[in-house]
């Protein structure tokens, strides 16, 4: 394949970096899938080839999260994580649900849930522009479920301890799925839009406990019903074959790397390197509270009185892409998803050091 420009160091928050071998295999499959004389995107989703891909993707999702044979199902749906904000509520809300508000994505989930019942905001860090994960709250009894966002992509905060509740625990894991060893069996349902750590936009992984499927509301429109999608093996209608295939490739890649335990180690080393530099470097200040820092999105601002123009020129010249912070935080955000190399993290650190020297 022809390639004219050098690949950039991609720190984008999403859609974001994917492993190079995954891109190559995915691109090849668009031309021809596994020597079958047809493209991945021109065959029936009910062909034996695609059914095998779907089943492999579902089983890898459970295997990587340690949930094989533990009574869970993996679904690949459409509509992004944003559709999950409403699907969780429409399927599970009887009267009231609890939400922990850790930023814009939780806010959006709350807004959708309010259409279907009472939302109790169990805890929120809104008053501090979501720079930390709330602590010291008590979860009330009698909730239909408790919803959290495990990693807040925009503010760079991450739950390192899970809330304690007897209600079903539901999580939006869009930006930290498959990045760390947490107890996935603590969740009754979790979901993740593909485009942060898994594949191209267009599919959303939902992992749901079978017990919970049995308790779901019955009068739910077909396309929004987890029970129906589970019953049809994510083939109720035409699934987005390309994002699902690419997600399967990423999961295979992850397994080859040594699974979640190995990638977690790698992610922690990259994050540590960058946070150490943020804390050491006089030109920058970290945004998120130290104990709640995300291992996926490191947010930082310029120190008071520092002009960032020269920094912007430096990182652009170094072939770094996607470092600009979200408008609600400003400054910078280094997204350091699974596929980002230590070499890219080192390069960023070098550029930060160079900038400090030139101040
Ligand atoms: C990106 C993101 C979303 C939005 O996902 P869509 O697939 O665009 O709907 C939701 N939640 C979190 C935590 C995200 O990072």
pLDDT of the chain, 359 residues: tens digit per residue: 566 688 999 999 999 999 999 999 999 999 999 999 999 999 999 999 999 999 999 999 999 999 999 999 999 999 999 999 999 999 999 999 999 999 999 999 999 999 999 999 999 999 999 999 999 999 999 999 999 999 999 999 999 999 999 999 999 999 999 999 999 999 999 999 999 999 999 999 999 999 999 999 999 999 999 999 999 999 999 999 999 999 999 999 999 999 999 999 999 999 999 999 999 999 999 999 999 999 999 999 999 999 999 999 999 999 999 999 999 999 999 999 999 999 999 999 999 999 999 99
Separation of 351 CA from ligand 1 center, angstroms?
29
- What confidence score (pLDDT) does residue 1 get? 52
Atom of ligand 1 nearest to the CA of 83: 9
Q: Please tell me the pTM assigned to this model.
A: 0.98
What is the Cα–Cα distance from 243 to 335, expressed in whole angstroms? Answer: 21
Is any ligand 1 atom within 6 A of the Cβ of residue 163? Answer: no
What is the Cα–Cα distance from 17 to 309, expressed in whole angstroms? Answer: 25
Residues with catalytic roles: 105, 172, 196
Q: What is the CB neighbour count within 10 angstroms for residue 338?
A: 27
Q: What is the CB neighbour count within 10 angstroms for residue 166?
A: 10
Cis ω for the linkage preceding 263 (within 30 of 0): no
With beta carbons less than 8 A apart as the criterion, state whether 180 and 125 touch: no
- What confidence score (pLDDT) does residue 4 get? 64
Name every residue whose Cβ is closer than 8 Å to that of residue 260 and which is 6 or more positions away in sequence. 64, 65, 178, 179, 180, 181, 254
Residue owning the nearest CA to atom 2 of ligand 1: 174
Is any ligand 1 atom within 6 A of the Cβ of residue 149? Answer: yes
With beta carbons less than 8 A apart as the criterion, state whether 188 and 209 touch: yes
With beta carbons less than 8 A apart as the criterion, state whether 169 and 163 touch: yes
Is any ligand 1 atom within 6 A of the Cβ of residue 81? Answer: yes
- What confidence score (pLDDT) does residue 3 get? 63
Atom of ligand 1 nearest to the CA of 150: 13
With beta carbons less than 8 A apart as the criterion, state whether 1 and 26 touch: no
Sketch out the chain's domains with CATH numbers: 20-256 (3.40.640.10), 260-358 (3.90.1150.10)
Is any ligand 1 atom within 6 A of the Cβ of residue 243? Answer: no
**Residue 49: exposed, middle, or buried by beta-carbon count in 10 A (0-12, 13-18, 19+)?**
middle
């Amino acid at each position: 394949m022809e390639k004219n420009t050098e690949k950039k160091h991609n720190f984008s928050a999403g859609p974001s970096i994917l492993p190079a071998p995954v891109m190559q295999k995915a691109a090849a499959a668009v031309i021809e899938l596994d020597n079958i004389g047809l493209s991945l995107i021109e065959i029936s989703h009910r062909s034996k080839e695609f059914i095998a891909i779907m089943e492999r993707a579902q089983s890898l999702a459970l295997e990587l999260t340690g949930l094989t044979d533990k009574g869970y199902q993996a679904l690949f749906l459409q509509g992004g994580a944003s559709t999950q904000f409403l699907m969780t509520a429409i399927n599970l809300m009887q009267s009231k649900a609890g939400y922990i508000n850790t930023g814009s994505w939780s806010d959006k989930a709350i807004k959708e849930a309010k259409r279907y019942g009472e939302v109790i905001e169990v805890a929120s860090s809104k008053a501090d522009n979501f720079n930390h994960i709330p602590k010291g709250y008590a979860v009330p009894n009698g909730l239909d479920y408790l919803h959290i966002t495990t990693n807040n992509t925009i503010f760079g905060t991450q739950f390192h301890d899970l809330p304690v509740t007897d209600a079903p625990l539901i999580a939006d894991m869009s930006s930290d799925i498959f990045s760390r060893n947490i107890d996935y069996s603590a969740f009754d349902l979790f979901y993740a839009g593909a485009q942060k750590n898994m594949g191209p936009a267009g599919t959303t992984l939902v992992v749901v406990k079978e017990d919970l499927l049995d308790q779901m509301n019955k009068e739910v429109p077909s396309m929004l019903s987890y029970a129906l999608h589970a019953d049809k093996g994510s083939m109720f209608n035409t699934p987005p074959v390309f994002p699902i295939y690419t997600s399967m490739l990423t999961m295979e890649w992850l397994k080859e790397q040594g699974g979640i335990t190995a990638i977690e180690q790698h992610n922690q080393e990259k994050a540590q390197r960058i946070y150490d530099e943020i804390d050491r470097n006089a030109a920058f200040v970290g945004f998120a509270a130290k104990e709640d820092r995300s291992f996926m999105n490191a947010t930082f601002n310029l120190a008071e009185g520092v002009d960032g123009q020269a920094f912007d020129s430096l990182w652009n010249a170094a072939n770094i892409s996607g470092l600009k912070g979200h408008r609600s935080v400003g400054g910078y955000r280094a997204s350091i998803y699974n596929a980002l190399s230590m070499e890219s993290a080192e390069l960023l650190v070098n550029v930060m050091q160079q900038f400090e020297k030139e101040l």
